[in-house]
Amino acid sequence: MSSERYSSESVSPEPLAQPLHFHPSGRVSKNRFLKSPMAEALASWSPKVPSERGIPNDELVELYKRWGEGKNSWGVIITGNIDIEFDALDGLADMVITPECPPEGERFEAFKKISAAAKVDGSLIVAQVTHPGRQVQARLNPVAISASDVQLEPKMGMTFGKPHAATKDEIARIVEGFAHAAEYLHKAGFDGIELHAAHGYLISQFLSRTTNKRTDEYGPQTIESRLRLVSEIARAIKARVPADFIVSAKLNSVEFQDGGVTPADANELCERLEALGFDFVELSGGTYEALGMGYEKESTQKREGFFLEWAETVTKSLSADHKMKTYIVGGLRSLGAMVKALDSFDGIAIGRPAAAEPRLPIDLIEGRIQGALKPLGDVEADFGLGMGVALSQISQVAKGKEPVRHNDPVAIETFGRDMGEWYQNVVKDGPNMEYIRAIQYSGPLAPYGTVASK
Domain-located, residue 382: no
* Terminal alpha carbon distance of the chain: 12
Q: Give the pLDDT band (50/70/90) at residue 55.
A: very high
Domain-located, residue 386: no
Domain-located, residue 178: yes
Q: Which of 343, 360, 377 is nearest to 67 (CA)?
A: 360
Q: Is the pLDDT of residue 299 over 50?
A: no
Q: Are strands 28-29 and 20-21 parallel, antiparallel or unpaired?
A: antiparallel
Q: Model pTM greater than 0.85?
A: yes
| Residue 316 exposure: Cα atoms within 13 Å on the Cβ side | 10
- Please check whether residue 201 is in contact with residue 130, taking contact to mean a CB–CB distance below 8 angstroms: yes
Q: What is the pLDDT of residue 408?
A: 95
- Please check whether residue 396 is in contact with residue 445, taking contact to mean a CB–CB distance below 8 angstroms: yes
Residue 96 pairs in a beta bridge with: 83
Q: Is the pLDDT of residue 135 over 80?
A: yes
Alpha-carbon distance 179 to 110, whole Å? 20
Residue type, 218: Y
Q: What is the pLDDT of residue 296?
A: 42
Q: Is the pLDDT of residue 302 over 70?
A: no
Residue 192 pairs in a beta bridge with: 126, 246
Q: What is the pLDDT of residues 255-285, one digit of tens each?
A: 434 455 566 777 788 889 999 999 999 987 5
Domain that holds residue 53: 14-372
Q: Is the pLDDT of residue 3 over 90?
A: no
Domain-located, residue 341: yes
Instruction: Kindly state the average pLDDT of the residues 151-162.
Output: 92
Q: What is the pLDDT of residue 263?
A: 66
Question: Angle at the Cα of 44 (from 41 to 47), degrees rounded to 5?
Answer: 95
Q: Is the pLDDT of residue 313 over 80?
A: no
Q: Is the pLDDT of residue 379 over 70?
A: yes
Task: Residue 188: count other Cβ atoms within 10 Å of its Cβ.
Answer: 22
Q: What is the pLDDT of residues 357-372, one digit of tens each?
A: 999 999 999 999 999 9
Residues 6 or more apart in contact with residue 427 via CB below 8 angstroms? none
Domain-located, residue 313: yes
Q: What is the pLDDT of residue 281?
A: 93
Domain-located, residue 380: no
Q: Give the pLDDT band (50/70/90) at residue 297.
A: very low
Q: Give the pLDDT band (50/70/90) at residue 307.
A: low
Domain-located, residue 188: yes
Q: Which of 278, 295, 106, 129 is nearest to 201 (CA)?
A: 129
Instruction: Kindly state the average pLDDT of the residues 242-266.
Output: 73
Please tell me the least confidently modeled range out of 205-219, 240-254, 401-415: 240-254
Q: Are strands 143-146 and 82-83 parallel, antiparallel or unpaired?
A: unpaired
- Please check whether residue 67 is in contact with residue 114, taking contact to mean a CB–CB distance below 8 angstroms: no
Instruction: Kindly state the average pLDDT of the residues 386-406.
Output: 97
Q: Are strands 28-29 and 33-35 parallel, antiparallel or unpaired?
A: unpaired
**Torsion angle of C-alpha atoms 167, 291, 31, 25, degrees rounded to 10:** -10
CATH number for the domain spanning 252: value is 3.20.20.70
Alpha-carbon distance 322 to 23, whole Å? 10
Q: What is the pLDDT of residues 413-428, one digit of tens each?
A: 999 999 999 999 999 9
Residue type, 144: A
| Count of domains for the chain | 1
- As a whole-number percent, the residues of the chain with pLDDT over 90 amount to 79
Alpha-carbon distance 68 to 62, whole Å? 10
Q: What is the pLDDT of residue 9?
A: 85
Residue 160 pairs in a beta bridge with: 137
Domain-located, residue 421: no
Q: What is the pLDDT of residues 70-120, one digit of tens each?
A: 999 999 999 999 999 999 999 999 999 999 999 999 999 999 999 999 999
* 242 cis-preceded (ω within 30 degrees of 0): no
Q: What is the pLDDT of residue 257?
A: 45
